[in-house]
Amino acid sequence: MYRCDSFLQVTGYEGAAATVLSLASGGTSPAATALAFSGTTFSELKLTEGITLPQLIDKFKETVIGEVNIERALKWAQEQQAETVVVLTHRLEQSVITAATEGLQRHNETNKTQTRLVLCGLCSRHLSVPHTNNLLVVLGFQQRTPTVIRAFHERHF
Can you spell out the DSSP letters for 118-148?
EEEETT--S------TTEEEEES--TTHHHH
For 61-80, the pLDDT digits (tens) are: 887 777 788 888 899 889 98
23: Cβ contacts below 8 Å, ≥ 6 apart: 31, 32, 34, 86, 146, 149, 150, 153
Pairing of strands 3-5, 10-11: antiparallel
How far is CA 145 from each of CA 39, 82, 148, rounded to the nearest angstrom?
27, 21, 5
Q: Look at residue 41 and give its three-state secondary structure.
A: strand
Contact status, residue 38 vs residue 6, Cβ threshold 8 Å: no
Query: Do residues 13 and 139 lie in contact, with contact meaning Cβ atoms separated by under 8 Å?
Result: no
Number of structural domains found in the chain: 1
Whole-prediction pTM value? Answer: 0.83
* Average pLDDT of the segment spanning 72-95: 86
Residue 78, domain extent: 3-153
pLDDT in tens, 102-145: 999 999 999 999 999 998 888 888 888 888 889 999 988 888 99
Q: Is the pLDDT of residue 1 over 60?
A: no
Of residues 92, 88, 72, the one with CA closest to residue 80: 72
Report CA Rg, the chain. 15
| Helix, strand, or coil (residue 68) | coil
Q: Which CATH number is 94's domain given?
A: 3.40.50.410
